[in-house]
């Protein structure tokens, strides 16, 4: 057995104990984690300091250094997040429907934990705690495979969580960190059938693609967001300008940020200069279709590739379209099924857009930036699913469960 | 583009039309299919005759010839099944919860079709119609890849369904059959990313394993059933004998049939001869652990492999255990997560078994044979999922849907 297979086996065994644990014991584990985060703050900052120093030495770009860096405030936020998860209702154990069949069998559908969940992620150490505690609350063991850039931070955070779960009588292997951070270990995790019930990749398009391509275990695809805002012929143009500005500029690096603006031809000449003025405040680079470039001198010509790119940056592709139908077609051809918005005052166009656009979240007259577990009222989220199986959109704690049928009989045979 | 990629592309385009179709139009398509099954009975029987003749020539065993064979009665049953699907409520379009968030956004979670569903199956032509119509009702396009043994039958059935959907104004590509029945086409279907939203294999353990090993598209694993009946120390032994007889003998070839009997040591000497007498009526071969063989002279010694085998036949593995805990451990080590039963009069043992056994369906005092869509009140089923993601246990029409969030705004930005 390889090191990872042993880790998988231990997680599977731990999961049998954890899934049978009561809500009180699981909440006690989470409380212990929150307390340890605060108590061991100095250790965490010291380990994180090593990662940040190494990152700077290796020339990591500033945005990544920022994601990697922990501060007292960020640690306190993590602890607060863990306490919020403890306060959630336990999704497991709920019997969703139970009915007596004509033959007298009483059949109920009970929510249970998913099993062992693998998470592959990149340079954000807060994911280590956020993801693990959400999994634990739903009764799942978790195997974390973080990026090498955050290894020291992740290691101290994982050990702290192991100590905490052990302190309330649960197996340490409820949470574990893959110690090998080479590509080899990621590939091995993707094929750990028999141990992993589901693998969730959290990261950029390259990571997601690699996992979807190579995984033999069930995967929940997350996060790639090539999102559009379509400004209809009948639209409140001031509202439209505010929405595209927010969707692009409020946080360009995240998956629910807009990457392409589609504008109906009849309003393009009026709307585009107004939108461009808004976007200019954040120095957004505009890459336009020929019609856009004719209206906006500051726009550079877009290539075909631009329509398929998640910039994650202050860049926006802009295209003029002849109808809502053309916008919907463009989204179908280029969107990633994440978040799509229309700005319109027309009732029928709004309803048609909601029906016809195939994405996790479809908006009328609002920014795509709201696609998020807490904005949707789900509490913390483990990621945003862009696939249709199992879960779609922000995945909260309910999406980390499965079900089983329980059947009470009196000797029935068929 | 390969032939299968073109077929995938056509299905994807058809699905955009189909998912937007109203319930009335989908029901009209199903009615047209049911009518055509009856009207074209002679064509179907003629095509099926070719398959059956070829099967006999190729020495297909009798059980398979039986599965392959269509009769007037079976065609009428298929048509009746299609009409029942038409009568189901349409699962799509339902908004499961819709609430106003503090910022005024109205967010609803709407059931939508899954997309394009691939089904790989073996020699049963009725699956062609059962599976396709269930997919259609939920607004999904379907690509069928049946076994070569049933090719003529499948082809006439698929053409008939295409004519029917076309007759109500839906694209023919809503349903299509893969024309190549070599292993090559199955492998290509498993990797048809970008076109297939989910692949469901229906068949024996070998097929399921091949799909899980090779697929790059999301898969729902179905049907492998290594099911157990555990007879507790405190059990109504007459009830237990009736349950194991039913679980083993009522239809040994299906996935919810029992393969192993576990018996508590304190009742083994009393129970096993009674059970063996029941099972002898169907000439069941018993493969026992040493203790079983000491009690039952007719039992042959079981090997380690027997505990992991889905016989699908009149063979039963028998093992004496020292406790319910040992039975639960055996099931965890050897079960396939399908259906597991305990026979007991003890309340606490029953509740513990229900909690601790990790399977799609866990029974107290009833036969495992009830794991079935219609027995569970779900209507027709597309298969029985033995995985934990997306669906578990019998998958009815609801399991052939996904969801999307629809958000009504008034200009909200974040």
Whether residue B213 and residue A218 make contact (CB cut-off 8 A), yes or no, is: no
Whether residue B219 and residue A216 make contact (CB cut-off 8 A), yes or no, is: no
Q: Which of B404, B97, B294 is nearest to A359 (CA)?
A: B404
Whether residue A355 and residue B20 make contact (CB cut-off 8 A), yes or no, is: yes
And the tokens for A199?
Answer: 């693998």
Whether residue B250 and residue A413 make contact (CB cut-off 8 A), yes or no, is: yes
Nearest to A366 among B16, B370, B409 (CB): B409
Whether residue B236 and residue A99 make contact (CB cut-off 8 A), yes or no, is: no
What local confidence, expressed as pLDDT, does residue A212 receive?
A: 85
Give the Å distances, CA to CA, from B64 to A182, B59, B69, B120: 49, 10, 9, 17
Q: Which neighbouring-strand residues pair with A201?
A: A120
Nearest to B360 among A219, A362, A405 (CB): A405
Note the Cα A176 to chain centre separation in Å. 20
In degrees, rounded to 5, the angle at the alpha carbon of residue B96 between the alpha carbons of residues B95 and B97 is: 100
Whether residue B411 and residue A236 make contact (CB cut-off 8 A), yes or no, is: yes
Whether residue B375 and residue A101 make contact (CB cut-off 8 A), yes or no, is: yes
Whether residue B407 and residue A359 make contact (CB cut-off 8 A), yes or no, is: no
What local confidence, expressed as pLDDT, does residue A123 receive?
A: 77
- Check pLDDT > 90 for residue B245: yes
Nearest to A366 among B220, B359, B412 (CB): B412
Using an 8 Å CB-CB cutoff, list chain A residues near B199.
none
Using an 8 Å CB-CB cutoff, list chain A residues near B219.
218
Nearest to A250 among B19, B356, B414 (CB): B414
Contact (Cβ atoms closer than 8 angstroms) between residue B68 and residue B149 = yes
Contacts for A304 with CB less than 8 Å, ≥ 6 apart: none
- Interface predicted TM-score (ipTM): 0.94
Using an 8 Å CB-CB cutoff, list chain B residues near A213.
216
Q: Which of B231, B404, B408, B410 has the highest number of chain A CBs within 10 A, making it the mutation to test binding with A?
A: B404
- Check pLDDT > 90 for residue B244: yes
Using an 8 Å CB-CB cutoff, list chain B residues near A388.
114-115, 197-198, 402
Contact (Cβ atoms closer than 8 angstroms) between residue A385 and residue B389 = no
Q: At what angle do helices B347-356 and B324-334 cross, to 10 degrees?
A: 20
Contact (Cβ atoms closer than 8 angstroms) between residue B407 and residue A362 = yes
Q: Which of B383, B344, B337, B329 is nearest to B359 (CA)?
A: B337
Using an 8 Å CB-CB cutoff, list chain A residues near B361.
404-407
How far apart (Å, rounded) are the C-alpha atoms in residues B357 and B335?
10
Whether residue B242 and residue A389 make contact (CB cut-off 8 A), yes or no, is: no
Q: Which of B213, B222, B243, B366 has the highest number of chain A CBs within 10 A, making it the mutation to test binding with A?
A: B366
Q: Which of B215, B218, B330 has the highest number of chain A CBs within 10 A, making it the mutation to test binding with A?
A: B218
> In A168-235, which residue ranges form alpha helices assigned H by DSSP?
183-190, 205-214
And the tokens for A207?
Answer: 């990571």
Whether residue B101 and residue A375 make contact (CB cut-off 8 A), yes or no, is: yes
Q: State the nearest Cα–Cα gap between A238 and chain B, in angstroms.
A: 9
And the tokens for A22?
Answer: 């009561």
How far apart (Å, rounded) are the C-alpha atoms in residues B45 and B40?
9
Q: Which neighbouring-strand residues pair with B402?
A: B112
Q: State the nearest Cα–Cα gap between B325 and chain A, in angstroms.
A: 13
End-to-end CA separation in angstroms for chain B: 43
Contacts for B82 with CB less than 8 Å, ≥ 6 apart: B30, B33, B34, B37, B129, B133
- Check pLDDT > 80 for residue B223: no
Q: Which helix (H) or strand (E) holds A408?
A: strand A401-412
What local confidence, expressed as pLDDT, does residue A204 receive?
A: 81
The per-residue pLDDT for range B249-296, each reduced to its tens digit, is 999 988 999 999 999 999 999 999 999 999 999 999 999 999 999 999
The alpha-carbon radius of gyration of chain B (Å, integer) is 24
How far apart (Å, rounded) are the C-alpha atoms in residues B244 and B252?
12
And the tokens for B403?
Answer: 């969801």
Q: State the nearest Cα–Cα gap between B414 and chain A, in angstroms.
A: 6
Using an 8 Å CB-CB cutoff, list chain A residues near B376.
101, 107, 405
Whether residue B388 and residue A250 make contact (CB cut-off 8 A), yes or no, is: no
**CB-count burial class (<10 Å; 0-12, 13-18, 19+) for A321:** buried
Burial A76-85 (b: 16+ CB within 10 A, else e): eebbebbbeb
Chain B, nearest residue to A354 by Cα: B406
Query: For residue A306, what is the DSSP state?
Result: G
Whether residue A364 and residue B407 make contact (CB cut-off 8 A), yes or no, is: yes
Using an 8 Å CB-CB cutoff, list chain B residues near A250.
413-414
Q: What is the dihedral angle through the alpha carbons of B252, B258, B261, B267, rounded to the nearest 10 degrees?
A: -100
What local confidence, expressed as pLDDT, does residue B123 receive?
A: 77
Q: State the nearest Cα–Cα gap between B219 and chain A, in angstroms.
A: 8
Give the Å distances, CA to CA, from A217 to A145, A177, A178: 15, 18, 17
**CB-count burial class (<10 Å; 0-12, 13-18, 19+) for A87:** exposed
Query: For residue B191, what is the DSSP state?
Result: T
Q: What is the DSSP string of B259-322?
A: EEEEEEHHHHHHHHHHHHHHHHTTT-EEEE-HHHHHH-TTPEEPPGGGGG----SSEEEEEEES
Chain B, nearest residue to A374 by Cα: B101
Using an 8 Å CB-CB cutoff, list chain A residues near B230.
none
Assign 3-class secondary structure to A36-64. Answer: HHHHCHHHHHHHHHHHHHHHHHCCCCHHH
Contact (Cβ atoms closer than 8 angstroms) between residue B334 and residue B308 = yes
If you count residue pairs, one on A and one on B, with CB atoms under 8 Å apart, how many are there?
193
Using an 8 Å CB-CB cutoff, list chain B residues near A409.
363-367
Sequential pLDDT tens for chain A (414 residues): 999 999 999 999 999 999 999 999 999 999 999 999 999 999 999 999 999 999 999 999 888 898 899 999 999 999 999 999 999 999 999 998 899 999 999 999 999 999 999 999 987 899 999 999 999 999 999 999 999 999 999 999 999 999 999 999 999 999 999 999 999 999 999 999 889 999 999 888 888 889 988 898 999 988 789 999 999 999 999 999 999 999 999 999 899 999 999 999 999 999 999 999 999 999 999 999 999 999 999 999 999 999 999 999 999 999 999 999 999 999 999 999 999 999 999 999 999 999 999 999 999 999 999 999 999 998 889 999 999 999 999 999 999 999 999 999 999 999
And the tokens for A172?
Answer: 């340490």
Contact (Cβ atoms closer than 8 angstroms) between residue A158 and residue A119 = no
And the tokens for A14?
Answer: 């731990």
The per-residue pLDDT for range B181-218, each reduced to its tens digit, is 999 999 999 999 889 999 999 888 888 889 988 898 99
What local confidence, expressed as pLDDT, does residue B14 receive?
A: 97
Chain B, nearest residue to A18 by Cα: B356
What local confidence, expressed as pLDDT, does residue B222 receive?
A: 87
Q: By three-state DSSP, how is residue B98 classified?
A: strand
Count of beta carbons in the 10 Å neighbourhood of residue A89: 10
Phi, psi of B120 (to 5 degrees): -110, 125
Count of beta carbons in the 10 Å neighbourhood of residue A32: 21
Residue of A260 and B221 predicted with greater confidence: A260
Q: Which of B231, B385, B402 has the highest number of chain A CBs within 10 A, making it the mutation to test binding with A?
A: B402
Whether residue A405 and residue B362 make contact (CB cut-off 8 A), yes or no, is: yes
Q: State the nearest Cα–Cα gap between B410 and chain A, in angstroms.
A: 5
How far apart (Å, rounded) are the C-alpha atoms in residues A345 and A234?
6
Q: At what angle do helices B347-356 and A3-20 cross, to 10 degrees?
A: 140
Q: Which of B107, B110, B78, B108 is nearest to B91 (CA)?
A: B110
Phi, psi of A362 (to 5 degrees): -120, 125
Whether residue A362 and residue B112 make contact (CB cut-off 8 A), yes or no, is: no
Query: For residue A299, what is the DSSP state?
Result: P
Whether residue A414 and residue B99 make contact (CB cut-off 8 A), yes or no, is: no
Whether residue B405 and residue A360 make contact (CB cut-off 8 A), yes or no, is: yes
What local confidence, expressed as pLDDT, does residue A63 receive?
A: 81
Q: What is the mean pLDDT of residues B76-93?
A: 95
């Amino acid at each position: 057995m390889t090191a990872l297979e042993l880790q998988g086996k231990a997680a599977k065994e731990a999961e049998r104990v954890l899934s049978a644990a009561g809500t009180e014991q699981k909440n006690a584990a989470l409380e212990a984690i929150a307390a340890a985060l605060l108590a061991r703050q100095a250790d965490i900052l010291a380990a994180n300091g090593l990662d940040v120093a190494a990152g700077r030495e290796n020339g990591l770009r500033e945005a990544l250094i920022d994601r990697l860096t922990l501060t007292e405030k960020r640690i306190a936020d993590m602890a607060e997040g863990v306490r919020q998860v403890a306060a959630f209702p336990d999704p497991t154990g709920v019997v969703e429907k139970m009915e007596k069949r004509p033959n007298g069998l009483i059949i109920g559908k009970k929510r249970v934990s998913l099993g062992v969940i693998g998470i592959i992620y990149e340079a954000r150490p807060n994911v280590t705690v956020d993801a693990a505690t959400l999994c634990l609350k739903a009764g799942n063991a978790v195997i974390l495979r973080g990026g090498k850039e955050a290894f020291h931070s992740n290691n101290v955070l994982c050990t702290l969580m192991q100590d905490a779960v052990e302190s309330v009588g649960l197996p340490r292997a409820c949470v574990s960190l893959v110690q090998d951070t080479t590509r080899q270990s990621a590939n091995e995790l993707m094929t750990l059938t028999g141990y992993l019930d589901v693998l969730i990749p959290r990261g950029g398009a390259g990571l997601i693609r690699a996992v979807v391509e190579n995984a033999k275990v069930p995967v929940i695809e997350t996060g790639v967001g090539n999102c559009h805002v379509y400004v209809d012929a009948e639209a409140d143009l001031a509202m439209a300008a505010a929405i595209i500005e927010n969707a692009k500029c409020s946080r360009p690096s995240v998956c629910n940020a807009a990457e392409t603006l589609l504008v109906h031809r009849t309003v393009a000449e009026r709307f585009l200069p107004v939108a461009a003025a808004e976007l200019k405040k954040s120095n957004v680079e505009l890459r336009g279709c020929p019609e856009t470039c004719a209206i906006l001198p500051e726009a550079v010509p877009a290539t075909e590739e631009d329509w398929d790119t998640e910039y994650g940056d202050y860049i926006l592709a802009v295209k003029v379209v002849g109808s809502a139908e053309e916008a919907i077609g463009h989204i179908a051809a280029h969107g990633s099924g994440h978040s799509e918005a229309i700005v319109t005052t027309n009732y029928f166009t709004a309803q048609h857009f909601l029906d016809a656009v195939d994405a996790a979240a479809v908006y009328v007259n609002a920014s795509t930036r709201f696609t998020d577990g807490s904005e949707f009222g789900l509490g913390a989220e483990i990621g945003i699913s862009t696939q249709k199986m199992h879960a779609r959109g922000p995945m909260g704690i309910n999406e980390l469960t499965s079900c089983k049928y329980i059947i009470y009989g009196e000797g029935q045979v068929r």
